[in-house]
Amino acid sequence: MGCKGERLDLSGLDNETKAKLESMSPEDRLKYMGIGGTIAIEAVPRFNKAENETVYEGQNNAFIVLGRDRYGAPLSGYGGDGETQCGAIDIVVGRMGCAPARVIKKAGGAETTLYANSDFRTDSARIYLSQKSDIDKYFGLPDGKVGNSVARSAVAIKADAVRLIGREGIKLVSYTDAKNSQGGGMSTKGIDIIAGADGEDLQPMVKGKNLELALDKLLKYFDKLAGIMDSFLTYQMNFNKATINHDHHSPFFAHLTLPSRGVMQEGTKAQIELLKNTKHGIKEFKDQLDGFRHNYFSQMGPHQITSKHHNLN
């Protein structure tokens, strides 16, 4: 039943309510379809309320529970253990997720009222505040680098889609006080951004300005290397020129000999190739370095590596 995305799902209703709906005329039934803010008949599980809880319940599977820390049955959590200082507020919509039910149907058609506990895995959406909880355990979260919170105050938000919207900015801040809510000391913990349930391969975030500084230095080293190579080529070409044009004196009356045809041919070819490929290549390389600086370091660059608006420390 349920979990198929139907616009109208009555599968979890009890037989009596279903029979009443089926006996109504289409016009009368329309009054209970929730259209235009009218009453909507749908399967809403009864909440398994603990004695110490104050429950505000709407007509359509929406609850606010004021009580003590629990993440399941009344015996769960620090409230279930009878500990003090573990007050909790549980705001939840959609108990039992996409398959809510009012009754448990048994063999032979008999029905028993269903009492649902909080289920941090399947309930559709929840905001949970607790004075003392093991919040990562309750929601089945990976340790990450921050680690799991134990016996600490917590706020958790879970839904299919979570949006935090600040008209003038959003801050994610950790380690603001000298002591935690239980009066104990703390160690500095950062912020983990984890996709999925695997928190093993977490890596440190990059500071944009430091990365920019490191890459800029690296580019300067490349630029210097290109200059060294350019100087070497200049010296080599001068040497090649001297070698090509050099001559010898004959042992006969010290007359000049003819230049070596092979040396002249290969030397001239080498000079042309050095000028055409290597010299021009170095110039092109240095131009590309300048383009790289503009594209990635300049605020006007199309691929600027540091964010204009978002920061971390």
Domain hosting 287: range is 208-297
Q: Kindly give the residue spans of alpha helices, DSSP state H, lying in the chain.
A: 15-23, 26-30, 77-80, 135-139, 208-245, 261-273, 280-297
Per-residue pLDDT of the chain (313 residues; tens, 9 = 90+): 556 666 777 788 888 888 888 888 888 888 888 888 888 888 899 999 999 999 999 999 999 999 999 999 999 999 999 999 999 999 999 999 989 988 888 777 788 989 999 999 999 999 999 999 999 999 999 888 888 999 999 999 999 999 999 999 888 888 878 888 888 887 777 788 888 777 777 777 788 888 888 788 888 878 877 776 776 666 566 656 656 555 555 565 555 554 555 555 555 666 666 566 666 777 777 888 788 888 877 878 888 777 776 666 6
Q: Does any domain span residue 83?
A: yes
Name the DSSP letter for residue 51.
T
Considering the domain architecture, whether residues 58 and 125 belong to the same structural domain is answered as: yes
Considering the domain architecture, whether residues 63 and 143 belong to the same structural domain is answered as: yes
What was the pLDDT predicted at 73? 97
What was the pLDDT predicted at 266? 57
Q: Does any domain span residue 66?
A: yes
What would the two tokens of residue 239 be? 């040497």
Q: Does any domain span residue 68?
A: yes
What was the pLDDT predicted at 45? 93
Considering the domain architecture, whether residues 152 and 215 belong to the same structural domain is answered as: no
Q: Does any domain span residue 119?
A: yes
CA distances from 305 to 210, 297, 300 (A): 11, 7, 11
**Which residue, of 141, 158, 175, is where some domain finishes?**
158
Name the DSSP letter for residue 108.
G
Nearest to 138 by CA among 92, 100, 202: 92
Q: Does any domain span residue 249?
A: yes
Considering the domain architecture, whether residues 57 and 146 belong to the same structural domain is answered as: yes
Considering the domain architecture, whether residues 85 and 153 belong to the same structural domain is answered as: yes
Considering the domain architecture, whether residues 146 and 48 belong to the same structural domain is answered as: yes
Q: Does any domain span residue 276?
A: yes
**Which residue, of 158, 189, 223, is where some domain finishes?**
158
Edge-first strand order for the sheet with 125-133 is 54-57, 62-68, 87-93, 125-133, 152-158
Is residue 85 left, alpha or beta, with left meaning phi > 0 and alpha meaning psi from -120 to 50?
left
What was the pLDDT predicted at 251? 61
Number of domains in the chain: 2
pTM (two decimals): 0.75
What was the pLDDT predicted at 194? 83
Burial class of residue 169, CB neighbours in 10 A (0-12, 13-18, 19+): exposed
Considering the domain architecture, whether residues 53 and 135 belong to the same structural domain is answered as: yes
Q: Does any domain span residue 20?
A: no
What phi and psi, each to the nearest 5 degrees, are found at residue 63? -135, 145
Q: How far apart are CA 188 and CA 293, in angstroms?
A: 36
